[in-house]
Structure formats: structure tokens, C-alpha cells
Amino acid sequence: MKRSDPFSSPLGFILFLLLSSFLAIYIWKDRGLVFSPGQLTDIHRDGVTMQGFSSHADFEKQCSLCHVPLDTTIGELCLDCHTEIDSQVDGGTGIHGRIANVRSCQNCHLEHRGRDFDPTLAATQYFDHSVTDFSLLHHQLDYDSTPMACTDCHQPNDYAAVSVVSCQECHGGYDPEFIQAHRRDYGETCLGCHDGADRMADFDHNTTAFTLDGQHIPLVCTKCHVMGQLENTPAACEGCHTEPEVHRGLFEPTCSSCHNTQGWSPAIIDGSPFDHYLTTGFSLIRHPEDYAREAIQCSTCHPDSLDSLDLSKCVDCHTQADAVFMADHEQQFGLDCLSCHDGVDRMSEFDHALVFPLDGRHLEIACVDCHLNQVFVGTPNLCVQCHAEPEIHAGVFGLECQNCHITMAWTPATLLEHSFPLDHGVDNGEQLTDCETCHATSYVVYTCYGCHEHQQADIVQEHREEGISAADLPACVNCHPNGLEDEAEN
């Protein structure tokens, strides 16, 4: 017997229409949830909402928020809500900006797996970590050889961020002293240097735009990279070196035109090392600051130009320390400070004997009697430069006065050699005959008539009898070399 179709009769057809309508009304009223493959996730971050929802479960009955067939894709609707991810995709930034086919969100982030299902964590099985700036080459196993999980470095609800605390706790547990010093020296931004490969293992600073040479070589990294800042570290000298007060405002802020990394000093000017003492003759060793404890700058002494010096500044400064002394000093020695002072100071223990011994009558002479017009450098130190040569021996004995004269007195002179007795005609033998007695007009001409003039006629007659002519008569010492009368007979 053939089985009949229950809907083939008019009554059956009516029942079919009623059942279909009821089912359509139910599906419409239930908003299609009868076809849902499962519940949406309730994973969420406290206090964070998007489009007014804290989790996917909040809009579980609004399927059209994610499903609009034939009009748009699921991925496009995801990005309408997750606008921060959309910005990454459009700008090529962040993790999502580096993933291929990123707008097909459902390929990695599954849904309808229940309230406790985590779509972000589930996506990690499809995620290629090499698209990030950190390699997992050395982060497969922990120090205890157990496999590392994503949550060892990432917070479960924020896989886009890395917790440096996790880095510190993990590596600090292995070597706490090293990590403590490392954090102190380089700060907390681990990813600023480390990429997991590790790119810093064989780091050569000379491959960067800033070569380390000279005095920069022995510096520790943190001397320049303060607070762990490695990027955008100043490369210009003034970025690390404060301009010295001593030449502030006098030079262009291009330190390299005078200084190099071999040493801050001496400065190199015009190709040669600059030394204030060697260049100017004045040392700055005792002039780092003035009497008010303020730094002495170049402009303090060179107010107009480095090529000129205002000596009145010396007086102005030292007057602050001792006005009475400076007034007397200026009166005695004038304003040509550099003629005596070199900054060391060479005059502090000045011994005149090292330049010109002061003894005898020179001790009584005032400084200005020799240092005319307060000129000290180049003062004459030869006798003849101060004492005019006497006419009586002009051109006879030369100009080395010290051969015959001493500073105790100009006269009497002391002859080193005199063939005729200087005590001639003196009874007691303790007194010398004055030079002028025999040398009345010149030391190269003598006469015995200074003493014997009252016997002149007798002398002439007596010598005529001896055959001595009048012309030979003045040459007395030829016959009387010692001044004795009987010498002629011998």
C-alpha cells in the first residue's frame, strides 16, 4: 500500500503554511540566533569599552554587527569597531600593520566558542612572531628549560604590549646583580637595545654615525646615554660639554674648530696647540677666579678683542684686594704690569742679585734711579750705560769698568798691573799716590814734575851732564823704573 504525503491534502497544505509561518516568526523574533554556531566570548578588560560594549557577548543577539552577507565582509565590520587596529592597518604600523591579508580577521581570531574563549590568545597559533622587532630565537625555553608561553612576556588581555617587568623578573632570577646594574646603567626600556637575536652581542659603535676615538673610547656607555636613552643621543659637542665660562660668548659654538677628542686641552688654534703662557707670556694658573670668587673669563681682561689687553683691568681687580698696596705699587712701578708679572708669578720671590747684584753704593739707590720712566725689562746693566766714561781715561782702558772699579766707591781705582810703585814719594808707605799726581791730563801720559817741579832746573842740568837730552828727559821711568835715583847708574 502506497504511503500518502501528509501535506498533499488541502488540510495538510494549510498545516504546512501555519508551521512555516510560525517558524519564520520565531526565527525573526529570535533574530536568527537559532542558526548561531555558539556563544560569543565574554573576555574583556575592566573599564574598556568599544562602541558601548565591553565584550562580544554584549551584542551576541545583534548578528548584523558582524554579519551583513552580500554587503560587506566580517573583517571590515571588525575594523569598524576596532578603530585602533584599523589605524595600524592603514598606516602600516604596529603588529597588524605587518600581517598579510590582515583584513580577514576571522582567519586568526575565531569566535562562537563560548564565553571563556579568548580570540586573541587563539590567534597566537597562527601568528608569525618574525614580523615583529623581536626574535624568539633565544626565547623558546626558560632558564629551567621549560617552554615559554606568550603570557610569559605579554599580558593576557594586551598582546600588543610587552611587560619589561617580565623581562626583569625572568633575567633577574638568573643573575640579579647583573640585571640590577644593567637597569641602573641603561634604564628600563629593554627593547631599546635587545631584539632577541641579539643585535647588541657584537655591537661596534664605530658602525654608527658617531665614531668613538680619543678620550671617548674609555667612557662607559651611560656617560653619554643618560637614563638608558640610546636613540637620538646628542652628537654635537655642546650636547654633552657645557661651554666653559672662561670663553663664553667669545667663540662660535663649533667646539671642533679648536678642540678634538684627543683632549679638551690644549685647544688647537691655527693648527698649533694653544697655551696661554707660551703664546702670551702670561700664565693663567693663578687666575681661575677673581677676589669675589667669580670665574675670570677671557673677556674680563680682553673686553674688546682677544687681540688686545686692557691692563687697567689688572689694577681694578687687585685694588679690590688691597687698595693701599696697589696705589703705592702703581706709583712705584707704573701700569705696565706685564713687564714684571707673568701670572706664575716670577716676581713673588724676586732676587735682584740674579739679574744684577745690588751691593756697595748701589744699595742706596732708589729703583727709579736706574729704572727710568718705570721701565724694568731691558734696563742697562753695564757700568758705562749709567756712568759716563771720565775724560781722563777716555779711550784708554776700555769700557769694562769693573776691571778697576768696585761698587763700594768709584775711587780709588784698583789696578791689576802698574809697573811704577804707587806709594812713590809717600813716607809711611801706607798711602798711595793719587793718579792725578803723575797723570794730570791723561792716564797714558805721565810727568814726574807733579812732585819734582821745584827741582826742574837742577834736574835738567844734572841730566845734561849725564848725556840725556831735553827731548829724552820726560821719559823718567826709562832710567828710574822704580822711582829710585840710583837706578840710572845701574
| Helix 312-321 / helix 323-333 crossing angle, nearest 10 deg | 140
Q: Which of 79, 106, 132 is the last residue of a domain?
A: 132
Report yes or no: 342 and 276 within 8 Å, Cβ to Cβ.
Answer: no
Quick check: is 61 in a domain? yes
- 123 and 161 share one domain: no
pLDDT in tens, 30-78: 555 666 788 999 998 888 899 899 999 999 888 889 988 888 999 999 9
> How many Å apart are CA 64 and CA 80, to the nearest integer?
13
pLDDT in tens, 434-473: 788 888 888 888 888 878 776 778 888 888 888 888 888 8
**23 Cα distance to chain centroid:** 88
Q: Which residues of the chain have pLDDT under 50?
A: 1, 490
pLDDT confidence of residue 31: 54
pTM: 0.39
> How many Å apart are CA 356 and CA 358, to the nearest integer?
6
Quick check: is 376 in a domain? no
Report yes or no: 41 and 10 within 8 Å, Cβ to Cβ.
Answer: no
- 42 and 106 share one domain: yes
- 149 and 115 share one domain: no
Q: Which helix (H) or strand (E) holds 204?
A: none
> How many Å apart are CA 443 and CA 364, to the nearest integer?
30
- 145 and 73 share one domain: no
pLDDT confidence of residue 326: 92
pLDDT confidence of residue 430: 67
The whole domain housing 177 covers 136-202+209-235
What Cα–Cα distance (Å) separates residue 313 from each residue in 277, 290, 296, 298, 336?
19, 11, 11, 12, 12
Which residues are paired to 295 by β-bridges? 289
Quick check: is 368 in a domain? no
Q: Burial code of 265-293, b = ≥16 C-beta within 10 A, e = fewer?
A: eebbeeeeeeebeeeeebbeeebeebeee
